[in-house]
Amino acid sequence: MQAPDPDYRLALELLSAVVGLMVGSFLATVVLRLPKNLPIVLDRSACPHCGRTLTPIELIPVVSWIVLRRRCRACGGPISAFYPVVELLSALVAVASVHWMPWPGAIVACLAGWCVLVVGGLVIRKWVPGSAGPGAQI
């Protein structure tokens, strides 16, 4: 079997990182909302302090957390590091899957890794009170 073109491989890993960040944003929402029986898909993300619905710019994974200096743009309330940590772990799972697994096993490995991430997040949230920080209620 011929080795993949390095440019193609790098592009695929960058694409998987971006997809991993976006999926990670959703996974963080799942971990935070599922135990509270809150809607996961139909409800827009909002500031846990003032309740303001987040704008699309504020939903960009990791970047918005850094640009906003970990604070809500409207009320200044702290935004938990839980979000970027889950987003980065999700991106890591995606890149590692694409890097080390052949197709289509990479997709299966990535989905399995994301499931482990959600279950691990739920377990940590259950057994370590306050583990997501004060800015991670919704």
Smallest gap from residue 121 Cβ to Zn ion (A): 23
Per CB under 5 A, residues contacting Zn ion are 47, 49-50, 72, 74-75, 77
Between residues 5 and 43, which has the closer beta carbon with respect to Zn ion?
43
37: left (phi over 0), alpha (psi -120 to 50) or beta: left
How large is the angle between the packed helices 105-127 and 6-33, nearest 10 degrees? 30
Between residues 82 and 114, which has the closer beta carbon with respect to Zn ion?
82
Smallest gap from residue 138 Cβ to Zn ion (A): 11
Residue among 49, 57, 97, 41 at smallest CA distance from 74: 49
Between residues 77 and 133, which has the closer beta carbon with respect to Zn ion?
77
Tell me which residue has tokens 């920080």. 133
Smallest gap from residue 30 Cβ to Zn ion (A): 22
Smallest gap from residue 95 Cβ to Zn ion (A): 32
Between residues 57 and 108, which has the closer beta carbon with respect to Zn ion?
57
DSSP string of 122-136? Answer: HHHHHHSTTTT-TT-
Residue among 134, 88, 94, 85 at smallest CA distance from 114: 94
